[in-house]
Amino acid sequence: MTLFSLAKKNIQGNFRHYFVYFISMVFSMVIYFTFVSLQYSEEIQDSIELSDTMSFMFMISSFMLLIFVSTFIFYSNSFFTRRRKKELGLYSLLGLKKKTIGKLLFYENLVMGLIALVVGIIVGSLLSKLFSLILIRLMGSAAEVDFGISFLAIAQTSAVFIVIIMITSIQGYRLIYRFKLIELFQAEKQEEQMPKASFLSSLAGVVLLVISYWLIVRPFPDVLDLEYLLKNYGVSLLLLVTGTHLFFRSVTFYLLKLLQTNKRLFYKGTNLINISQLIYRIRGNARTFTVIALLSAATIGFFTATYTGYYGNKESARGLVPFSYNHLSKNEQQDEKVRNIIQKDKVHAIESALDIPVVPVKGELSFDLDYELNPVKLIPESTYNQAAKALDREFNATLSGNEAVVIQPRLTEYAPSDFIGENIKLNLPQDTMRLKFVDMFKGSVLPFDYPDFYIVISDQLFAEITEYMPAKTYKVYEVENETATKETAKTLNKLLSEDFQVSSTFYTQYKQGKEGNALNLFIFGFLGLVFLAATGSILYFKQLTEANEVRYNYEILRNIGVSKSKIRNSIKKQILFVFSLPLVIGIVHSIVILIFITNFISNLIGSSILIPIITAITAFILIYAIYYLMTAHTYNKIVNR
Amino acid sequence: MKTILEAKRVKKIYGTRGNVFTALEDIDLSVQEGEFVGIMGPSGAGKSTLLNILATIDEPTSGDITIDSSNITDMSEDTLAAFRHDKLGFIFQDYNLLDTLTVKENIILPLALAKTSVTDIAQRLNAVARRFGIEPILDKYPYQISGGQKQRTAASRAIITNPTLVLADEPTGALDSKSATDLLETLKDLSSNDNATILMVTHDAYAASYSQRILFIKDGKLFTELIKGNKSRKKFFNKILDILAALGGEANDII
């Protein structure tokens, strides 16, 4: 028998095991290739206005993906070879030279890897079209997607995976040299001892988790610098990882042990079997659980954050640039030119046009406010009311004497109670003037320009002040269907740059936000799906390996009179526990991460976080549920025949 | 006296057409309450097949089996499981203990499955543990104890539900002679003092000599029956050896 025919017979005989390994390789390659070809896709790059940021995002993500994918391949490789140790031992026993066995494994892995690569690239080319379609849809661009194949993507994918395949092949070659014959034979039945519960490490697990949660959610200090960020979140991440691991290793173990002491519960039906089986298995699964919980947490957390950003983009753009077009009036000529451009765009008819006079003055508050005040911008009451009406807002100011209303500075979370009853002293050229705050409104009428501190005062007072202080006039326009004013916005942007810190046109602000958010959403969604699929598969395979190991136990149970349906229920309960434990911890972690994220970008996200988080968690649970059903079904088929 | 087990014309055929093998042929068998019955025969005679069928783990090709006045041949899988659980106790050669459970948990497993109350469980556990002398090892795991201790654990599990019939398949097969004697003494004691009905398959004449009656099977058929009566165990043992010689003695006869 030649080496080749032996290898061929091997593959035929162990087809199922080979198939699983093969599929996980193909899966990794498809994912990587799809992602890389999106990165290189010209259609996508052309249709986007912030290409630099995009390439950077893609680069970071594809690097993360690469790390993840290679770990996954190494994991399935070791899973695959562990199952074959006995077979290799047998060859050795029958007199095959170590070198020959090594070569056998080397070529086997190499050929399988190369075939997987070809299949992966073919499937990946089809999938990348689908995903680029999704991405372009999300961004709201109208680019055409044709079926061009990116050679750069093929080259990069091939290069990366040939290296990985070579490494796993060499590992295969070395396998036979690494172990003694006796070890190869005992690989499958290493006696497990009942592990001991340690109260101390359980306590440590809980304490570490609590500390890391606290570090993550605590509010920022007054001075926020990079050192604080690195230290605080570096430490909390470290604690979170160790804490999670200890949690699975010791805390759940300890809790299950505690359940065991409750005889009334423990000695009831199949609980006896379920609980002790779980206790036995939990240590071996602790690392897998940790990885899954952390990955789920990161994915749910960041996906929700980006989804919220995407979801709330329109609102957040409206907040930053309330009117469709805005500019500072500099001279008659330019004002006229701008008006003409806007009027020419008949599809987007002008709904309202306003002049907003603003007087910037120096002021001092009667109390400490953690916000840069000067110059304070004054707006007359009637103009504010008109603008609010044009923007369909409900605020309406009726002021008299020295009463004033603050407009909530954007990106802050001040409440009316912070201002009501307090004073501001304005330093005017002639004298000083004291204004009394009677309310705080939400909703500015001009584009964001730091410091964003506007005060609405009565028309009479405003007229008095403008007698000896010049007012700037801003011209603003609100048009129909402002989310589609691409051309006009483009023309105006060229003319009106630098009037504000944000864009002068609503459309540009909106579109940029949408693209950025869509890209983040896509990347996190993509990575999330990959993580989910991979971790789900890892759980699936781990459980099935276990099923093969504990088959004998269930035979005993059937022999002493446990019915098949009872065994099925017991299996379902155990698998449910195995699947829900890391998921629940992952969800709890992700909520903590979300609190951190909302802390970090506060009002930027703006709109409701509830719908995105429910969507993300539901999607997660659904996909996991499918894996759960699949695993329970196959497990039952293995042990309960 | 009550008849616990009644088997009529039990037949077991393996294989499909063209390649059939008759493992059991028209076996009739009857066991009374409190009896300790041994089943002997050379390898391949059909002892284990018979026991598996009586244990409801395997199905006969034809024939009727009644245990405690219910016919087990036409029960569904789930009813059978419940039946096994309520009426039968098992002792296997390889113990069949769960490594994930302690000795105590292994023993009470059938009671826990039946959702017996905790106080009842504790009472019964104490009784069987005392009887088999395994109190000191109750909190150990199977991999921490010896073969003899494992088998006593398995026997404890078999009788803790007070089964109608205890089935033992080569219970001493993997034990040293001291452990084997201890176990056999306890089984005998169970039968004579507690009126337990025991059916034991063995190929070991010494083990068989502890029973009251022995059925010999050869080539799937009942060969003969040997009753201890008032004979001493030593004498009974010699009788058994004689029959075994006759059973496996065909080759000698030819010479």
> What's the domain count of chain A?
3
Inside any domain, residue A545: yes
| pLDDT value of position A393 | 75
pLDDT tens for each residue of A320-342 = 888 888 877 778 787 777 778 77
For residues A539 and A542, give the distance between their C-alpha atoms in angstroms, rounded to a whole number. 5
Q: Is the pLDDT of residue A620 over 90?
A: no
Q: Is the pLDDT of residue A394 over 70?
A: yes
Same domain, A38 and A85: yes
Q: Which residues are CB-contacts of A236 (< 8 A; sequence separation ≥ 6)?
A: A211, A212, A215, A216
pLDDT tens for each residue of B213-243 = 999 998 888 888 999 888 898 999 999 888 8
Q: Which residues are CB-contacts of A549 (< 8 A; sequence separation ≥ 6)?
A: A188
Q: Is the pLDDT of residue A163 over 90?
A: yes
For residues A4 and A176, give the distance between their C-alpha atoms in angstroms, rounded to a whole number. 18
> Rounded mean pLDDT of A612-628?
87
pLDDT band, very low/low/confident/very high, at A307 (cuts 50, 70, 90): confident
Structural domain including A144 reads: 1-191
Same domain, A497 and A578: no
Q: Is the pLDDT of residue A234 over 80?
A: yes
**Percentage of chain B surpassing pLDDT 90?**
25
Query: Closest by alpha carbon to A121, among A37, A55, A21?
Result: A37
pLDDT band, very low/low/confident/very high, at B254 (cuts 50, 70, 90): very low
Q: Is the pLDDT of residue A159 over 90?
A: yes
For residues A414 and A410, give the distance between their C-alpha atoms in angstroms, rounded to a whole number. 9
Neighbour order of strands in the sheet with B21-32: B21-32, B3-14, B62-67, B70-71
* Spatial contact of A209 and A247, defined as CB atoms under 8 Å apart: yes
Beta-bridge mates of residue A456: A379, A405
| pLDDT value of position B252 | 40
Q: Which residues are CB-contacts of B128 (< 8 A; sequence separation ≥ 6)?
A: B107, B156, B159, B160
Same domain, A341 and A416: yes
Task: Mark out the alpha helices in A345-412 (DSSP H runs).
Answer: 381-390
Query: Closest by alpha carbon to A639, among A540, A553, A578, A539?
Result: A553
In CATH, B3-254 is 3.40.50.300: yes
Segments making up each domain of chain B, as ranges: 3-254
Inside any domain, residue A292: yes
Amino acid identity, residue B52? N
Task: Give the closest of B77, B110, B118 to A560, CB-based.
Answer: B110
Same domain, A500 and A528: no
* Spatial contact of A87 and A185, defined as CB atoms under 8 Å apart: no
**Percentage of chain A surpassing pLDDT 90?**
9
Inside any domain, residue A432: yes
Closest residue in A to B159 (Cα–Cα): A560
Mutate to test the interface with A, among B100, B101, B141, B166 (most CBs of A within 10 A): B100
| pLDDT value of position A462 | 80
Tracing tokens 């403008």 back to the chain, one arrives at: A466
Same domain, A432 and A527: no
pLDDT tens for each residue of A190-219 = 455 666 767 888 899 899 999 999 988 887
| pLDDT value of position B255 | 33
Query: DSSP assignment of A26-78, as one string?
Result: HHHHHHHHHHHHHHH-HHHHHT-S-HHHHHHHHHHHHHHHHHHHHHHHHHHHH
pLDDT band, very low/low/confident/very high, at A144 (cuts 50, 70, 90): low
Closest residue in A to B114 (Cα–Cα): A269
Q: Is the pLDDT of residue B38 over 90?
A: yes
* Spatial contact of A329 and A355, defined as CB atoms under 8 Å apart: yes
Q: Where are the beta strands (DSSP E) in B153-242?
A: 165-169, 198-201, 213-218, 221-227
Q: Is the pLDDT of residue B250 over 50?
A: no
Same domain, A158 and A303: no
| pLDDT value of position A604 | 47
Exposed, middle or buried by CB within 10 Å (0-12, 13-18, 19+), for A234?
Answer: exposed
Q: Is the pLDDT of residue A619 over 80?
A: yes
For residues B173 and B203, give the distance between their C-alpha atoms in angstroms, rounded to a whole number. 9
| pLDDT value of position B133 | 87
pLDDT tens for each residue of B40-86 = 988 778 888 898 888 888 888 889 999 988 888 888 877 888 888 88
CA distances from A191 to A279, A544, A638, B10 (A): 15, 18, 21, 42
| pLDDT value of position A190 | 47
pLDDT tens for each residue of B182-194 = 889 989 988 888 8
Q: Which residues are CB-contacts of A354 (< 8 A; sequence separation ≥ 6)?
A: A323, A383, A386, A387, A390, A475, A476, A477
Inside any domain, residue A236: no
Poorest-confidence range of A123-132, A484-493, B60-69?
A484-493
> Rounded mean pLDDT of A256-282?
82
For residues A475 and A504, give the distance between their C-alpha atoms in angstroms, rounded to a whole number. 11
| pLDDT value of position A143 | 57
Which span out of A368-372, A400-404, B154-158 was modeled with the highest average pLDDT? B154-158
Among left, alpha and beta (phi > 0; psi -120 to 50; other), residue B178 is alpha
Same domain, A346 and A388: yes
> Rounded mean pLDDT of B157-165?
89
Same domain, A347 and A436: yes
Same domain, A615 and A628: yes
Inside any domain, residue A202: no
Residues of A with CB under 8 A from a CB of B: 191-194, 263-264, 266-273, 276-277, 279-280, 553, 556-566
Same domain, A492 and A619: no
Mutate to test the interface with A, among B54, B77, B109 (most CBs of A within 10 A): B109
pLDDT tens for each residue of B84-117 = 888 888 888 888 888 888 899 889 888 888 888 8
Inside any domain, residue A632: yes
Q: With beta carbons under 8 A apart, name residues in chain A contacting B98.
A: 273, 276, 553, 556-557
Task: Give the closest of B77, B116, B121 to A564, CB-based.
Answer: B77
Look at chain A and count its residues.
Answer: 641
| pLDDT value of position A142 | 60
pLDDT band, very low/low/confident/very high, at A119 (cuts 50, 70, 90): very high
Q: Is the pLDDT of residue A254 over 60?
A: yes
For residues A397 and A419, give the distance between their C-alpha atoms in angstroms, rounded to a whole number. 16
Inside any domain, residue A578: yes
Inside any domain, residue A178: yes
* H helix and E strand count, chain A: 21, 8
Q: Is the pLDDT of residue A51 over 70?
A: no
| pLDDT value of position A61 | 81
Residues of B with CB under 8 A from a CB of A: 55, 57, 77-78, 81-86, 88, 90, 92, 96-101, 105, 108-113, 115-116, 118, 121, 141, 143, 157
Same domain, A395 and A294: no
Poorest-confidence range of A175-184, A201-210, A572-581, A615-624?
A175-184
Closest residue in A to B117 (Cα–Cα): A264
Same domain, A145 and A23: yes
For the record, the structure tokens of A274 come out as 């379920």
